[in-house]
Every structure is written in structure tokens, then in C-alpha cells.
Amino acid sequence: MTNNKTIHTLSVYVTNKPGVLARIAQTFSRRGYNIESLVVSSAIDGNFSRMTIGVSGAEDGLGQIIKQVGKLVDVLHCTDHTFDDAVVKEMGLIKIAVAAEDRGEALQIAEHFGCKTVDLTDESIILQVVGDPAKIDALMEMIHKFKIIEIVRTGKVLMSRGVEIT
């Protein structure tokens, strides 16, 4: 088994029933895979949900686990989009402790990354950033020079390009 840290992005289309998330999570955890991010939301048809799962673990067993997830009764399909040219987006909220007089540089970095300032007090600001996960990582890198109070990321969502269904 090779232990590669690639985070795979899977899109799972499921019936909106109790237990479906637990079954999927169990399938990964039993084989030692770690769920790095998870986004669940209702599909156009409210009887179904779309999950975007970021998962890491041994590269060579993943294909088999995707098949195991795919065979769950509540799962319509499970597709690995890691190497597809798909639209991948994530949102992050970053709360930094910054006094009013030092805000200038923080806001400059924020502007460069297209962030919105969604909260502003005398001691802190909250920046909202939207983009592909690499862009958010780069922002995190830059903003580290300030005192970060907390970071919340949504985890990535993904959609196939063109008319193709994800």
C-alpha cells in the first residue's frame, strides 16, 4: 500500500434518507480512509442529495471503495472527479485580530484575493474568500502574519463543466 496524500474529490448522488451518510462514512473509515471535507445539500429533486467528499488514504484501494460506496442501496452513483477538469470551489471565513490602525495591510491582502469583509470591529475583521481550494490555501499562507482567531472552511464543492451531469 502506498500512502499518498492526494485528496480525492468524490461526488456522490444519494437518496435523501436517514443513515446514508453514516453508511458512506463507515465504508471509508473501515478501510482506513479519512474524510477531509464533506458538503451535503439537497438536489433539485428534494428526494435526493448531492455530497462532495474530499477523501485521503492509500491510492491503490480507493477505486474499490468507490465501487463499495456505489453499491450501497441509497447511493445512485459515486464518481471520482479528482483528475477531471471540473469547477471546484470552496468558501472560507477567516477571523483575524487586528487593531484599527493595522488594518491597512490586512485589507490589501484581502483585496488581492478578492475577499469580502463581512464583519468589522475595533479589534477584528472577518474575511470571506471564495475560490478554488489552492487559492484559499495561498491566502491562509499570506494572512498568517496576523493573529488568526479562527478559520472555518466549507469544504469544496464540485461541478462538471459543460452540459455533462456531475
| Residue 76 binds to other proteins (criterion: CB under 8 A) | yes
| Residue 70 binds to other proteins (criterion: CB under 8 A) | yes
Closer Cβ to other proteins, 4 or 64, answer by number? 64
Closer Cβ to other proteins, 68 or 124, answer by number? 68
Closer Cβ to other proteins, 67 or 112, answer by number? 67
Query: Residue 31 CB, nearest distance to other proteins (Å)?
Result: 11
User: Cα dihedral sign for 52, 58, 59, 65?
Assistant: negative
| Residue 22 binds to other proteins (criterion: CB under 8 A) | yes
**Of 8, 9, 10, 14, which one interacts with other proteins (CB under 8 A)?**
14
Residues sharing a CB contact under 8 Å with residue 94, sequence separation 6 or more, in sequence order: 126, 127, 129, 139, 140, 143, 148, 150, 151
Task: Confirm if 143 and 95 have CB atoms less than 8 A apart.
Answer: no
Closer Cβ to other proteins, 66 or 125, answer by number? 66
**Of 26, 34, 42, 121, which one interacts with other proteins (CB under 8 A)?**
26
Q: What angle do CA 10, 136, 108 make, to 5 degrees?
A: 165
Contacts to other proteins by CB under 8 A: 14-15, 18-19, 22-23, 26, 30, 63-64, 67-68, 70-76
